[in-house]
Chains A and B, each alone.
Chain A
């Protein structure tokens, strides 16, 4: 999945003042021509910093996002669903591997990224700080959170950084299974007994508010957004992604005669979706550590790191030196 609504560092334009103007112009011209940037190319320090940050957040989101779903593998109804969910969760962890590698090509080591995740310094997608109460919650994640992630990833795949594009190409191919699997699981509940319908309706009610924040708050028109878009780091505004998501998936929820907990949600005559503004104050609180599951997510990741340390230690060879990947 994941990685909607990346949180970029505010751009201070004076950071660009130190860059060689000729090289900067060549760099921007290359992006303008639609060419990709490769790891060895000259790039402004600001580009490097923002792309690392974006890819790293995306990688962490894959890893942490595997936790709320992974907890349902053993409790998924039936062997086939267990196998499918197991495969999906394995895919997500694989996505993290691909993404960490892409970020490494820009010079941040895997060691440092792991450290920044478990120390709470780096962020991941905020929706995973919410709990999955029932099996139905896990199906809503598989369908709608993955759907949101696909909107985001399809946009990013047109971005300017070569290694990220290569990783996203593989990731998007696997996501189509996640989406279908998730949709199927939701439809199964929605078309089942009244108890099953109630379960999926309650899960939707719980997940809708976090889903509406998935792409992040509306972008302010600023030099910050402008430069990220010009450099094709950010390919669509948060609102554009949200509109696209609503357009594709709200009708699919409604056709199952399920409801969404927002009385203002509708598509207006101009074709734009109207909705109740998400609670951005809560979003801020949760992303800064006050969510139900923040502690648990990081604790589980830390524990995995600690419990696996002896394996990595046993395999460590002093003569095997880390270098950044080629591409």
Chain B
């Protein structure tokens, strides 16, 4: 028996009314995980917006653009695989993870140094924000460098460290991706002048005898 619906489109799909219980769903929703950061205004730090799941970094980037930058102003997008980020434990609000963790003074930069991006969380429940870039020989060393450069910033309840080379970043010329916002005014509450319509209706109905 086929499902009958008020919606003609659903009727055309010819969906069975009762799904066979034997139909086992294939495990296909377990793609890899990526974390996404956006720049909301020009010349402001990138901030964490959330994860996406995708088969690889490029597809993750496309999903991230759809998921996190289709609605509000955006000037840039960074995407990185979750496993490429290492993080500290969380500490209490108003404390600094730099002071509570035993982080040794950094060794001087060596030949093998590469760039790491440092993201800091100021308060639980808020979003990690890009603090800056350090040159370091590995994650641990990057954290030590970060302490030296950004350790004065208090509070800081959690830190994420990711190698810059592992982050897929939008480039300067990609910025025009996000220039279509003004064409979609119908997604903005201010586009709806409801009060005018209500007042006109009230005037009309109270003036009629």
A contacts, CB < 8 Å to B: 30, 33, 35-38, 40-41, 71, 74, 80, 83-84, 87, 90-91, 94, 97-98, 101, 104, 109-111, 114-115, 118, 131-133, 162, 165-167, 170, 173-174, 176-177, 179-181, 183-184, 187-188, 190-191, 255-257, 295-296, 298-300, 302-303, 305-306, 309, 312-313, 315-317, 320-327
Contact = CB atoms under 8 A, between A and B. Distances in A.
Contacts, number: 168
Given A84-B187, A323-B83, 18 more contacts: A38-B124, A38-B125, A94-B67, A132-B6, A177-B188, A256-B201, A296-B5, A299-B17, A300-B15, A303-B15, A315-B31, A315-B55, A315-B59, A317-B56, A320-B32, A320-B55, A321-B32, A325-B50
Interface core residue of A166, A191, A295, A326 (most chain B CB under 10 Å): A326
Contacts of B15: 299-300, 303
B26 A309 contact: yes
6 contacts: A101-B50, A104-B51, A114-B29, A313-B26, A315-B55, A326-B87
Contact of A166 (B87, B125, B205): B125
Contacts of A176: 189
A313 B82 contact: no
Interface in B153-209: 158, 160, 184, 186-189, 191-194, 197-198, 200-202, 205
Interface stretch (B88-96, B109-117, B131-139, B142-150): B88-96
Nearest to B3: A299
A308 to B, nearest CB: 9
Nearest to A132: B6
Binding site secondary structure of chain A: helix
Contacts of A323: 32-33, 82-83
B22 interface: no
Contacts of A162: 124-125
B30 interface: yes
A183 B28 CA distance: 39
Interface of B: 3, 5-7, 9-10, 13, 15-19, 23, 25-33, 35, 48-53, 55-56, 59, 67, 70-72, 82-83, 85, 87, 89-90, 92-93, 124-128, 158, 160, 184, 186-189, 191-194, 197-198, 200-202, 205
A36 to B, nearest CB: 3
A177 B189 contact: yes
A183 B194 contact: yes
A144 B32 CA distance: 38
Contacts of B28: 111, 309, 312-313, 316
Contact of B158 (A38, A101, A104): A38
A309 B198 CA distance: 48
A71 B50 contact: no
B6 A187 contact: no
Given A305-B25, A323-B33, A325-B50, A177 B201 contact: no
A87 B124 contact: no
Nearest to A160: B125
Contact of B125 (A165, A256, A325): A165
A145 B68 CA distance: 24
A83 B198 CA distance: 23
Contacts of B193: 184
Contacts of B85: 326
B128 A327 contact: yes
A36 B25 contact: no
Nearest to B184: A87
A41 B25 contact: no
